[in-house]
Amino acid sequence: MSRNEQSAEPHTNADGEIVVVGASAAGLYTAATLARGGRKVRVLESKPDFEPASRTLIVTNHFRNQLGASAKASILNEIRRFELFTDGRSAQIALSKPDLIIERARLIPALAREAQHAGANLSFDARFLKLSPNCRGLHLQVDSAGRSEELHAASVVGADGASSRVARAAGWPPIETVPLMQAIIRLPRDCPPDTTRVWFVPDDTPYFYWMIPESSERAALGVIGEDGRDMARCMARFLEKKQMEPLEWQGARIPVYRRWVPVKRRVGNGEVYLVGDAAAQVKVTTVGGIVTGFRGALGVAQSILQNGRSRELRALRRELDTHWLIRRTMHHFQQKDYSQLVDLLNFSTRDTLSEITRDESTRLLWNVLRRQPRLALLGLRGLLLGKTPRPAREG
Ligand SMILES: Cc1cc2nc3c(=O)[nH]c(=O)nc-3n(C[C@H](O)[C@H](O)[C@H](O)COP(=O)(O)OP(=O)(O)OC[C@H]3O[C@@H](n4cnc5c(N)ncnc54)[C@H](O)[C@@H]3O)c2cc1C
């Protein structure tokens, strides 16, 4: 099998069928965009039917511009304020454009309806197994409800998540992932339903804990872990300290974006693309992957429809690189750095944070640094600290 790295050649199979593997956020968005562009699209989903696992997600207001009316029905709540806590200190940031709380179990069926309405064909209980080149493009082997099925496609889009089988089959290296867990809890009485809380506890995680209210009664309390850390133990201790009872659990592994993953490879005469978690299109600061996965999906669809051209992919790359810079800066922060960070969030900085969303990170970063230059020094220190190993944690 001859496989080449990302190629600038225009595609030659403009009339052939495109197979999208994975009927979740990124795959369905790609399928709908391609079908609207006049391409014949088939989506393969390994799950037997449409009962996506429940997941409470927070996204920026950008989501509203990306989706049609039916997907907006997945919005459960709006967030107008962030409260940041660390070591007895706190800071508040009001959002001029509210963040949105969405329910994945509602979003995915809505995206599927939009894809089908645009003309895409969806197959459930259809697990992609292998691909190889053939004279018409690509030959795919699929397990369809226990029977082996052979398919032919001009292009394949891998939207099959962080451990993408399409990526492995086409020769992309595996991507690093981290575990993420969320407990659904009763919303504490002292927390307004339009407020997200974030706690920086560097002894537990280099990321943070968060609590996002999905209604006036319920919230999702989450944490991101790292290899070697006992995330479940930290979460249990945190819940106990805050006197919160888990009602249900949500969790999975999330890709860590360290560098841009080229989204296209040629395999023989065919083309293979990756979108969403399969291409690590996740903001590594917050591990939010919905808005960026849609942007990756749009970029790949544009690139297929417009013979390789997509400004969206270039812009997404810049965005994800900036999040990686911020994460590298903060990853080795110690308690005193977080305390200083929260103290430095003065009025002018907070204004910037409230006006510019996390999906415009470069503009956000420069505006924050312009208004509070001492944050640049703190960031530089964080970057330098990153070069020395963290001391081992007790217990
Ligand atoms: C608990 C939790 C909370 C999160 N919170 C947020 C948040 O608040 N905000 C945010 O923006 N992001 C959040 N994320 C991340 C976000 O959910 C993901 O980035 C996003 O769902 C990725 O979508 P995707 O379509 O790329 O991949 P996935 O959702 O992983 O979908 C992959 C699809 O491919 C299918 N599939 C896999 N293998 C095959 C195969 N061989 N053949 C056919 N089908 C296959 C799977 O069944 C699945 O349907 C959270 C993630 C978790 C786990």
In this structure, the residue with its CA closest to atom 18 of ligand 1 is 289
- Tens of pLDDT, residue by residue over 270-294, are 999 999 999 999 998 888 999 999 9
In this structure, the residue with its CA closest to atom 13 of ligand 1 is 288
- Return mean pLDDT, the chain: 86
Ligand 1 centroid–CA 370 distance in Å is: 36
- Given a cut of 80, is residue 265 above it in pLDDT? yes
- Mean pLDDT over residues 79-96, rounded? 89
- Mean pLDDT over residues 50-68, rounded? 86
CB 329 within 8 Å of CB 340: no
The pLDDT value recorded for residue 389 is: 39
Q: Which residue has the higher pLDDT, 363 or 101?
A: 101
Return the DSSP state at 54: P
Residue whose CB lies within 8 A of the most ligand 1 atoms, among 60, 142, 160, 210, for a mutation test? 160
The pLDDT value recorded for residue 254 is: 92
Cα–Cα distances (Å) from 196 to 60, 104, 105, in that order, read 13, 18, 21
The pLDDT value recorded for residue 6 is: 38
Q: Which residue has the higher pLDDT, 255 or 10?
A: 255
- Given a cut of 60, is residue 4 above it in pLDDT? no
Q: What is the distance between the alpha carbons of residues 384 and 378, in angstroms, rounded to a whole number? A: 10
The answer to which of 52-66, 133-147, 338-352, 363-377 has the lowest mean pLDDT is: 363-377
Atom of ligand 1 nearest to the CA of 166: 41
The neighbouring-strand residues paired with 102 are 57, 75
Residue whose CB lies within 8 A of the most ligand 1 atoms, among 28, 44, 55, 249, for a mutation test? 55
CB 17 within 8 Å of CB 69: no
Ligand 1 centroid–CA 281 distance in Å is: 11
Q: What is the distance between the alpha carbons of residues 198 and 208, in angstroms, rounded to a whole number? A: 7
Sorted by sequence, the CB contacts under 8 Å of residue 384 that are 6+ apart come out as none
Beta strands in the chain (DSSP E): 3-4, 18-21, 41-44, 56-59, 75-86, 89-103, 121-123, 126-134, 137-144, 147-153, 155-158, 177-186, 195-199, 209-213, 218-224, 248-255, 264-267, 270-274
In this structure, the residue with its CA closest to atom 19 of ligand 1 is 289
Q: Which residue has the higher pLDDT, 277 or 88?
A: 277
pLDDT band, very low/low/confident/very high, at 376 (cuts 50, 70, 90): low
The pLDDT value recorded for residue 349 is: 63
- Given a cut of 50, is residue 2 above it in pLDDT? no
Atom of ligand 1 nearest to the CA of 255: 19
CB 154 within 8 Å of CB 137: yes
Sheet bearing 218-224, strands edge to edge = 56-59, 89-103, 75-86, 195-199, 209-213, 218-224, 177-186, 248-255
The pLDDT value recorded for residue 287 is: 86
- Mean pLDDT over residues 179-203, rounded? 94
The pLDDT value recorded for residue 128 is: 98
pLDDT band, very low/low/confident/very high, at 258 (cuts 50, 70, 90): very high
- Mean pLDDT over residues 226-242, rounded? 86
The pLDDT value recorded for residue 377 is: 61
> Counting Cβ atoms within 10 Å, is residue 180 exposed (0-12), middle (13-18) or buried (19+)?
middle
Q: Which residues sit with their C-beta closer than 6 Å to ligand 1?
A: 21-27, 44-47, 55, 57-59, 127-128, 159-161, 165, 180, 182, 250-252, 254, 276-277, 282, 288-290, 293
Tokens of 372: 């509070």
- Given a cut of 70, is residue 214 above it in pLDDT? yes
Residue whose CB lies within 8 A of the most ligand 1 atoms, among 45, 140, 157, 211, for a mutation test? 45
The pLDDT value recorded for residue 385 is: 59
What percent of the chain shows pLDDT beyond 90?
Answer: 63
The pLDDT value recorded for residue 177 is: 93
The pLDDT value recorded for residue 363 is: 67
The pLDDT value recorded for residue 7 is: 39
Residue whose CB lies within 8 A of the most ligand 1 atoms, among 254, 291, 295, for a mutation test? 254
Q: Which residue has the higher pLDDT, 265 or 15?
A: 265
pLDDT band, very low/low/confident/very high, at 3 (cuts 50, 70, 90): very low
- Given a cut of 50, is residue 351 above it in pLDDT? yes
Ligand 1 centroid–CA 290 distance in Å is: 8
Pairing of the two strands 195-199 and 75-86: parallel
- Mean pLDDT over residues 64-79, rounded? 85
- Tens of pLDDT, residue by residue over 128-137, are 999 999 887 9
In this structure, the residue with its CA closest to atom 16 of ligand 1 is 289
* pTM of the entire predicted model: 0.89
- Given a cut of 70, is residue 373 above it in pLDDT? no
Q: What is the distance between the alpha carbons of residues 286 and 207, in angstroms, rounded to a whole number? A: 8
